[in-house]
Amino acid sequence: MLYLLESIPYIPKVYYGALLGIGFCVYYLCEVVKTPLLVCANGPFRSFLEANIPLVQNKFWPTLWCFESRAQTIIASILRSHILPPVEYRREILTLPDGGEVALDWAEKDCSTTSPIVIILPGLTGASQAEYVKCLVSAARKIGIRCVIFNNRGLGGVKLKTTRTYCASNYEDLTEVVEHVRKLHPHVSLGATGISMGGLVLGNYLAQQGLTARTKLKACLIISVPWNVFAATKNSEENYFNLMLNKHLATNLRRTIERYHSDIGPFHVDIDIDKILKSQTIREVDSHFTTKQFGYKNVDEYYRDATLNDKLHLIEVPTLCLSAADDPFQPLKAIPLNEISKTKNVAVVVTSRGGHIGFLEGVWPVKEEQYMGKFFSQYFEAMFSGFD
């Protein structure tokens, strides 16, 4: 034994490198590459997913050099913004009952008038040219599905026309958009996809509309949703790196509100624009702005109303959700797996890695076709053609 210890300094360094490389590969293959977890009650929807959506059964191979959650989140955004060109949309301005306006951007290139339509709801301050939206539009185009991106009030280059904006718990504007698209295309299959906060808006709409939503939408997809808003905000504030992501989103939200303020002036007496502009986290912005805008007593009441965990049994539209176990905005322990396991119309696929709206795969993920896009296209192509 002593002889072996004395020999260590004379072992060539290349051997150390080889051992580290082997150890890394073993870790990657055993702990990173895994078949996603599929959770849903036994029934027709689960059986259909297992039979028709290959990604539900296949292992997810996160990018070898970029499988840490924050890296997936940030680098996915950077890569997509460079890989995916701007999308040419046909813009439609929809005037809402209170005089507010939202922009509906239609991606219809190479599609027929009978092609199915998917309404896409972007995240917190996202709009039609957000890189993750372009990823989904690119995937939809390849299978002949039309998309219409629902840009929230004051986003997507449209000025705010009323003192009311939008929030995660309020689905009034989405209701108007669904009704509008359904009236324009009464005989076409219609679906919807919500990403991050857009997933909260869509989930709340589906839960509150119940069977009414089932008469309008054939299938829904929700990606990287912060299921439990309390846990999501807490997790995003718990360590330095998560907090930096939180502050980045808060900065974008502050800029959006500042633009609103320049468009229409003061919102109402209870909103202090100076406090909002000094807010450092999403929770602080919500405390000083969102809760007052929508009449909540405090931020906890708002987050309780926005959270989806206790509403899933009310959803009647077949809804598939994609989440990552390491999402910095949604800890695995807060995903309502137990509730979903009892719900026949809601299913969740949880990958071991993927971050927040990341899901980068392969050695060099620079192709237009990405995991999130493939998930979108496999699901909607199957649902529109075969599920009743």
Catalytic residues: 196, 327, 356
Beta bridge partners of 240: none
For residue 213, the one-letter residue type is A
- Is 330 in contact with 235 (CB distance < 8 Å)? yes
Instruction: Annotate 357-379 with DSSP letters as a single string.
Output: TT--BSSS--SS--HHHHHHHHH
> ∠ CA 79-85-91 to the nearest 5 degrees?
130
Q: What count of other Cβ atoms lies within 10 Å of the Cβ of residue 237?
A: 15
Burial class of 50 by CB neighbour count within 10 A (0 to 12, 13 to 18, 19+): middle
Tokens 């210890």 belong to which residue?
A: 5
The secondary element (H helix, E strand) that includes residue 205 is: helix 197-209
Q: Which two tokens stand for residue 174?
A: 């989405």
Burial class of 297 by CB neighbour count within 10 A (0 to 12, 13 to 18, 19+): exposed
Beta bridge partners of 39: 348
The three-class DSSP label of residue 289 is helix
Burial class of 144 by CB neighbour count within 10 A (0 to 12, 13 to 18, 19+): middle
For helices 131-142 and 371-386, the axis angle rounded to 10 degrees is 40
The distance from CA 110 to its chain's CA centroid, rounded to whole angstroms, is 26
